Chain A
Amino acid sequence: MNMSKILMYGWEFPPFITGGLGVACYDLTKALSSLGTEITFVLPTMKGKNPVNSHLHLLDTNDLRVPNYIDKSISYEEFMEKIDLIGINSSLRPYITEDSYQEFINRMYESNTITEEHIQKDFYQFNISGDYGPNLIAEVFRYAFVAGSVAADVEHEVIHAHDWLTFLAGVEAKRISGKPLVCHVHALETDRSGINVNQQIFEIEKRGLEAADQIIAVSYLTKNSIVNYYGISPDKISVVHNAVSKKKSTQRTNSVKKDPDEKIILFLGRITFQKGPDYFLEAAAKVLQKYPKARFVLAGSGDMINRLIERTAELKIGRNVHFTGFLKRPEVEELFASSDVYVMSSVSEPFGISCLEAILFDVPVVISKQSGAAEVLQSALKVDFWDTEELANKILNILNHKALRKELQAQASEELKHIQWEKSAQHVIEVYDKIKKQAAVCK
């Protein structure tokens, strides 16, 4: 197949906005372009920074002006009318959930109305922060409107949108250029929020998934959720597992520890329902009954943190449990390098690249069976997230048996050689090729 030109939409991209989604987008596009794919990547904002050494063409939505004279152009009002989502002014829960919503609701209401200042003589221009702030949903709409219009100017064969934040942009781009749309699902609202699903985000996801010609899910777990909760046909969903890119500094250190008998068990991730930090904590109490020198580190922030601190006190294990709050990358790496066990106790984890990162640091991992990573990783210990006794059983056995640690390390690093972004990119290209063929047949 010939090389593809891709118009890609993503909310995060390092160094501008970095989260797990951004890292995945960066690594995937890097592998894609090394295989000859040409990518124009439209970000909400680059925050005035200039990209260095980029492997693709980055566009900042804030620099874009949507001309209102082009073919198929519509006004923002018409665009919003078409979106017509239920409960458009209801409160919004972004990735980072917070305890107070009242402020959201108030500000949402203001920000969804468009004022004269946005409409220049013959074009629209918005200022999008790209943050996961209270204006997120309004920004998602504006991004969709502006970024989608890029489809009229940039040559492309396939549109590729990452997660719900950019799905509407993808749908708008498809309306304008008529090119096929790939929606790439890294996480779903049903993963993030369990039964307390935000209806608006759910609707946006559903709309994108329905409009997509092909869907890429990061795991079979995610594929099943797309089918079961969103009513999408499994036939148009391909599974492309994530991978991890080898970093330079993966030396193990013991800088954090003083006593060699002291063992560090690490939880890294948002302290939210989805990540199951409460199960980690319950298991910690069980481990400490048998291994009093274990130390448990919860690295991350989130809306469950106060509850967990209270529970820690109740369990009387405060001396052995540490809440670090949100950590920057060098601190994360230092923690990985000095950990003895990495635990991913997620209730619902579409993939979970962090456990692959832990393996890069030679840390044995115990992961939830309810994770996409469990589908690709054999050299991990796996538990049902709710089975805290089994989680403790496995953590303790890793602490007690050097042979188990060594075998896990040896096999996992061997396995990691085969979990490469190039392989994932290859699968994505197969999806592009398939979709291009379909499009050709339709014409």
Chain B
Amino acid sequence: MPSICFYFQVHQPKRLRKYTIFDINKSHFYETDEANGSIMRKVAYKCYLPTNELMLELIKKYNGAFRISYAVSGVAIEQMKRFSPETLDSFKRLADTGCVEFINETYYHSLAFLYSKEEWKRQVAQHNELMRQEFGQEPTTFRNTELIYHNEVAKAAEELGFKTILAEGADKILGWRSSNFVYQPSNCDNIKLLLKNYQLSDDIAFRFSNKGWASYPLTACKFSNWVHELDGNAETINLFMDYETFGEHQWEDTGIFKFLYALPEYIFKNPSFNFKTPSEVAAEYPVRDRVDVPYYVSWADTERDLTAWKGNYLQDDALEAIFSLEEKVYRTGNDELIQTYRALTTSDHFYYMCTKWFADGDVHKYFNPYESPYEAYINYQNVLKDFTQTVEKELMVQTA
């Protein structure tokens, strides 16, 4: 009985406003409500609302046999509350069906694991609390920001009591093995590892509307045939992707919604196939092998490594600068400053500073609100300068 395991990532960063060196000491407001509000409303209208509606319909239609999972970042939920409360309501309705699993991640969709395990734990706990509050679920599955994974991430998640963890099914960690089975991190005994089938996931997420692709146009029938061909050679087909694939990356006129609506019908044409959420897959299938990942992998770009967020001079400098503030920030005990600090650890800030796209891929450019990575760095550093001064002033006031 092979399973289709869907996990969708829902995330919207809190983008920074244009903040010049001349704003330092004059304004402590760093975010752009205008852009963040209009982007949230736009994506809600094009993607979240219609796709959620469609998911609800499918769950109803198949009497609970259609099952999916989401990781919704805390910063996305904060912004839904402010700019599109109906979106959060519709996610809650999905939670109420009992067919949807909500996955735990860092509240701020941050890179904290790379710099501060303590901070990472705090942000995971904050997100855990949010999942309970908003969706009434106690998550048992964990995924780290952008599927950033390492033996140590698995170990830390296991220590927090998670039963399942998600990662990219990168060739370099699997070698000849297939992503379509349940694995266990080589250094763990109590947590199972689900690996993304990047071939089939990216057929939907990236190639769906590519007219230059040999398999264009992708239909639910064609896709299901590919899935069915795996029968006997697979236990779980992990389709992990950004939720914005539906209606935002792939526009409605590409036929993406029709594809999604028809998909379960065609999958069920082979009665041995079903849909399961990550924790259900982990509970159902045995561990087939152990995988050792003593280096970082992610789901980004062709490199599947950290270079989208870390590694150039700008990114490393900015990352070191923010995480070096941690001790001071917590010493203030000021909740507002702590939230600001955490929001500045969101991975997107560093993604915008990536200079890789000069040579390849313009994906970064598409999602970048800045004209260049240098602008992103300058803006971030200006904000950080003001924030640092604010924190230091607060500490001085407290000791005085």
Contacts and interface: CB of A to CB of B under 8 A. Distances in A.
Same assembly: yes
Interface of A: 286, 290, 378-379, 381-382, 389-390, 392-394, 396-397, 400-404, 406-408, 410-411, 414-415
Contacts of B22: 286, 389, 392-393
30 contacts: A286-B22, A290-B21, A378-B372, A379-B374, A382-B371, A382-B372, A389-B20, A392-B22, A393-B22, A393-B378, A394-B378, A396-B21, A397-B377, A397-B378, A397-B381, A397-B382, A401-B377, A401-B381, A402-B313, A403-B318, A403-B377, A404-B317, A404-B378, A404-B381, A407-B312, A407-B314, A407-B373, A407-B374, A411-B358, A414-B358
A291 B371 CA distance: 26
Contacts of A411: 355, 358
B316 interface: yes
Contacts of A407: 312-314, 355, 373-374, 377
Chain B at the A interface: SS class: helix
Contacts of B312: 407
Contact of A393 (B316, B318, B358, B382): B382
Contacts of B381: 397, 400-401, 404
Interface string B315-357: 0111000000000000000000000000000000000000100
B361 to A, nearest CB: 14
Contact of B313 (A286, A394, A396, A403): A403
B77 to A, nearest CB: 33
Interface in B92-112: none
Nearest to B377: A404
Nearest to B318: A403
A230 B376 CA distance: 39
Q: How large is the interface on B (under 10, 10 to 19, 20 to 34, 35 or more residues)?
A: 20 to 34
A379 B316 CA distance: 18
Given A401-B317, A404-B317, 16 more contacts: A378-B372, A379-B374, A381-B375, A381-B378, A382-B371, A382-B372, A392-B22, A393-B20, A401-B377, A403-B318, A403-B377, A404-B378, A404-B381, A410-B313, A411-B358, A414-B358
Nearest to B378: A397
Given A379-B358, A393-B21, A408 B316 contact: no
A406 B313 contact: yes
Nearest to A379: B358
Given A393-B20, A393-B22, A403 B372 contact: no
Nearest to A401: B381
Nearest to A390: B20
A110 to B, nearest CB: 53
B374 A381 contact: yes
B358 A378 contact: yes
Nearest to B312: A407
Contacts of A402: 313, 317
Query: Which secondary structure dominates chain A's binding surface?
Result: helix
Nearest to A381: B374
A392 B20 CA distance: 9
A403 B317 contact: yes
B21 A392 contact: yes
Interface string B15-33: 0000011100000000000
Given A394-B378, A401-B381, A406-B313, A415 B358 contact: yes
A404 B20 contact: no
Interface string B363-380: 000000001111101100
Nearest to B355: A411
Contacts of A397: 21, 377-378, 381-382
Best-buried of B313, B317, B358, B381 by chain A (most CB within 10 Å): B313
A30 to B, nearest CB: 28
B314 A404 contact: yes
B241 to A, nearest CB: 30
A410 B318 CA distance: 17
A398 to B, nearest CB: 9
Nearest to B19: A393
Contacts of B371: 382
A408 B358 CA distance: 12
Contacts of A406: 313
Interface string B201-220: 00000000000000000000
Contact of A403 (B21, B316, B358): B316
Nearest to A408: B374
A161 B166 CA distance: 64
A231 to B, nearest CB: 32
A407 B355 CA distance: 9
A400 B380 CA distance: 13
B18 to A, nearest CB: 9
B272 to A, nearest CB: 52
A184 B248 CA distance: 44
In the complex, the 8 A-B pairs of residues with the closest C-beta atoms, listed nearest first: A403-B317, A407-B313, A393-B20, A403-B313, A406-B313, A397-B378, A393-B21, A407-B314
A229 to B, nearest CB: 27
Nearest to A366: B374
A401 B321 CA distance: 11
Contacts of B317: 401-404
Nearest to A378: B358
Interface string B294-326: 000000000000000000111011100000000
Nearest to A411: B355
